[in-house]
Structure 1
Amino acid sequence: MSNRQNGGQGPWSRALGFSILLAAGATQVVAAPQDALTPVINGAAPQTLTFDWPMLRIGTGEYEEGPTGVTVFRFGRKVLGAVDVRGGGPGTVNADFLRLGYEAPELDAVVFSGGSWYGLESVTAANTALKDDGERGGHWDNVGLAVGSIIYDFGARRLNEIYPDKRLAQATLRAAQPGVFAQGPHGAGRSAVSGGLFGCNAHSGQGGAFRQIGQVKIAVFTVVNALGVVTDRDGRVVACHPDKGWPQDLKASDLMGATPDSLKPGWNGARAAAPDRKNTTISLVVTNRKLNPAELQRVAVQVHTSMARAIQPFATELDGDVLYAVSTAEVDAGPGDGLVSAEIGTVASELMWDAILAAVPAQPQGPAPTAVASNPTALARHAGEYRFSELASLQVTVKDGRLFGQATGSRDVFAIKRDAPAELVAVSDSEFAVPGRYPLTLRFEGDKVVINPGRWQQVGARARR
């Protein structure tokens, strides 16, 4: 159920425009000031991972107006943690502390957040919530410790700069629940994308996987906001908006082997111009097996290295890839008779590939424009200027019985540019599309226009005349 509570960069993606059916319980209003936003906590998700592990509680919080969000992993007591950083542009809080290899368990929570550097507020906010709630204090042996990382989800993928803040993070931590993890475009993965290097610009999200072997539990979680493409175990690209002429059964090896031609015009498909390039994959491995700091560090390195199979390319200069590994030390027994940390790392590596695949939602295609005879009266009702934020507005006009849109703010409105009007091709009297490589749908609802209705929608309000 959706629980609404008050109060409490990675390579860069390209201009995105997509549509999808409105998810159950998902609503959105015109962008409001940051302090007027209402957190949506543990909202309904069509796909969830469920497992039995009381020690590990998870919360997802979102601002629909972004859309953007935060995911909090909270442990029942202080635990031991390690970190491995691979990307060239990480954004973290307290990660260096985990590199020191102390034997004493210190970690309370791991936080993943959207909002680029501004989202790092979510990490410190989760920590202060522990103190505000009396679970941690100021004595040296009871100070709270939250660590975390961010993804870049601004730029061309949305028309505002709303970020996950203190109120959202604290509400999410307090509502964390055991054994439930939303898959796909939820929490920190709400506006994640993948494949920007090749112009795929596929919607992405967060994914998880779980396995129990005897008494040993292993869970993995990831937010995939990667510059590279997500690849299945047969080498096929899982999600991409291909250009015309690209292979029907697109494989990562096709793109990788043709680099740099596949990155620009000249290789069976043109690369869209001027992409945003701030991407990141942030991940977490948790086991209840007792591991010492050295073993836990090797698990982190092993699993992080394995992710290059599922994301190609991985850990580039423009990615901010970070992986955290946690041992809750609830059991001593390992899954077999060999090297315990290597076995756990092997199992976790395969689980992580599953989690990466689970992060990818169904890709919206958008309605196909047809020869609809538009009602002139209906077209006239849609004319006007619609404001999405202080950054983006859309001027809609009628000319010769056709509807046109032109961006009038400081940034383009996805495929609708500032330098020239684009025709809005009628699908019905209230729904229109802009044909192109990236689906773009507009739905007029009285004094509002909804672009790409659904999980990634942006809503503009008509300016007063």
Structure 2
Amino acid sequence: MTQRRNLITDVAGLRIGNAHDAALGSGVTVALFDEPAVTSVFAMGGAPATRETDLLDPDKMVPAIHGVVLSGGSAFGLDAAGGVQAYLREQGIGFAVREALVPLVSQASIFDLINGGNKDWGRYPPYRELGYEAARRAGLDFDLGTSGGGYGATTANLKGGLGSASTTTSSGHAVGALVVVNSVASAIVGDGPHFLAGGLEEGDEFGGHGLPARITPDMRRLIWKGGPQPATTIALIATDAVLTKAQAKRLAVASHAGLARGLRFSHALFDGDTIFAAATGRKPFQDEAAEFTELTALAADCLTRAIARGVYEARALPYPGAQPAWRDRFPSA
């Protein structure tokens, strides 16, 4: 039996690759599917940055896609999908239209343009090459925290980052979450060290602190970046279940509950909160309604846990005045 990684790659049929630039203060994470995956998306933030998302609606022609990109760079970062397309085309992968081959890659980006990195890149931003490199590195194991698309991520009070978690439903379907935590708000209760996700933690995956005995009114005080600064948490949910595009859409919608539980708060005006949901189609349902309902619930739980892991595993950026990481703020924890 394959050992569980507690990563989205516990779902058979996909690989994850990361690439980042420390001087730039940004990066790219790529999910590549072994076979085209039925995928949909739902954005609930007020300021999303996305590419090739309309084709994921259930009424659109394309049945499945080849990859999903979660990147930094805001609108500039959307170039990353072009690099992933270039890599896939070199491998002979794409949607065939007579002699033309078009890799289908959807993307969402976070706003990390004022985190201290050098964004003076000249005429063209570097995300296309970062996307290519992330695709080239795709595998089953990958780093969390300050890595890939989470390299430049921040939250209201702690360094953000790349998180992932997985679980299995009672019917044996694998489900996992991959998230770039770049929230306008906070992932911890009050001043910490407890994570809002503490009640769902498995083992010590983000410190083993659970929830505080009581959440006081002061702990519920809103903490946010403030001002007109966009911030976005973007994610991919994956499962080995056989889903229609309509079910994938419903899975993406339902998974936003996990984002709302892992952050205080989400889906705000300056957020671009966007969740993709993909099915690699390895295991059909037996009792479709009941099994799909459980799948949506556990997917949201995975996303909540992945948010906490992304912050817990993060390291501070190597710049003067950079936002502290959770481990900097709570070294004794």
How does the TM-score come out when normalised to structure 1?
Answer: 0.57
Match of 1:254 among 218, 237, 247: 218
Matched-pair contact (CA < 8 Å) for 1:87–1:322: yes
Q: Which residue of 2 aligns with 1:300?
A: 252
- Per the alignment, residue 238 of structure 1 pairs with 195
Shift of 1:329: 1.3
Q: Which has the higher helix share?
A: 2
2:136 to 174, 177, 198: 174
- 1:416-442 deviations in whole A, cap 9, x for unaligned? xxxxxxxxxxxxxxxxxxxxxx67xxx
Select which of 221, 240, 263 maps to 1:311. 263
CA distance in 2, matches of 1:68, 1:132: 25
Q: Give 2:296's aligned amino acid.
A: G
Pair 1:344-2:295 in alignment: yes
1:237 and 1:252 in contact (8 A); partners too: no
Instruction: Name the residue aligned to 1:205.
Output: 161
Letter in 2 for 1:172: A
Residue 108 (structure 2) pairs with residue 149 (structure 1):
yes
The question of whether the paired residues in 1 share the 8 Å contact of 2:239 and 2:280 is answered with yes
Q: 1 CA distance for matches of 2:284 and 2:315? A: 46
Change in 2 beyond 3 A, CA 1:227/1:250: farther
Please give the alpha-carbon distance, in whole angstroms, between the structure 1 residues aligned to 2:264 and 2:213. 16
Alignment check: 8 A CA contact 2:109 2:234 kept: yes
* Equivalent position of 1:107 in the other structure: 65
CA–CA separation in structure 2 for the residues paired with 1:187 and 1:118: 16
Task: Return closer, same or farther for 1:61/1:295 CA change in 2, 3 Å cut-off.
Answer: same
CA distance in 1, matches of 2:272, 2:31: 20
- Once superposed, which parts of structure 1, at least 4 consecutive aligned residues long, lie more than 4 Å away? 50-54, 248-253, 362-365
**Correspondence for 1:356:** 307
Secondary structure of the equivalent of 1:194?
A: coil
Q: Spell out, residue by residue over 1:66-125, the C-alpha distance to the aligned partner (whole angstroms, 9 max, x if none).
A: 221100000011111111101010000011111243476321000011111111000122
Q: After TM superposition, give the deviation of residue 277 of structure 1 in Å.
A: 1.4
Matches within 5 A, 1:28-107: 49=7, 52-102=10-60, 105-107=63-65
Q: Give the superposition deviation at 1:137.
A: 6.3
Does the aligned pair in 1 maintain the 2:15–2:138 contact within 8 Å? Answer: yes
Distance change in 2, residues 1:328/1:142 (3 Å): farther
SS in 2 for 1:345: helix
SS of corresponding position for 1:323: strand
Deviation, 1:298, is 1.2
Q: 1:219 aligns with which of 176, 185, 191?
A: 176
* Counterparts in 2 of 1:364 and 1:170: CA distance versus 1, 3 Å: closer
The 3-state SS of whatever aligns with 1:318 is coil
Provide the C-alpha distance between the structure 1 equivalents of 2:183 and 2:282, rounded to a whole number of angstroms: 33
Q: Which residue matches 1:326?
A: 278
Cα gap change, 1:229 to 1:170, in 2 (>3 Å): same
Q: CA deviation at 1:364?
A: 7.2
Residue type of the alignment partner of 2:162: Q
Q: Which one-letter code corresponds to 1:78 in the other structure? A: P
Match 2:146 to one of 167, 180, 185: 185
TM, length-normalised to structure 2: 0.78
Tell me how far apart the structure 2 counterparts of residues 224 and 283 of structure 1 sit (CA, whole Å).
Answer: 9
Cα offset for 1:350?
A: 1.0
What pairs with 1:388-407 in structure 2 (closer than 5 Å)? none
Once residues 188 and 296 of structure 2 are traced to their aligned partners in structure 1, the CA distance between those partners, rounded to angstroms, is: 20
What residue in structure 2 maps to residue 125 of structure 1? 83
Higher strand share: 1
The aligned amino acid for 1:350 is: D
| Aligned counterparts of 2:296 and 2:148: Cα–Cα separation in 1 | 26
Indicate the structure (1 or 2) with the bigger Cα radius of gyration. 1
Identity of aligned residues (%): 26
For residue 63 of structure 1, report the CA deviation from its aligned partner: 1.0
User: Matched residue pairs, number?
Assistant: 298
> Counterpart in 1 of 2:331?
none
Q: Which residue of 2 aligns with 1:229?
A: 186
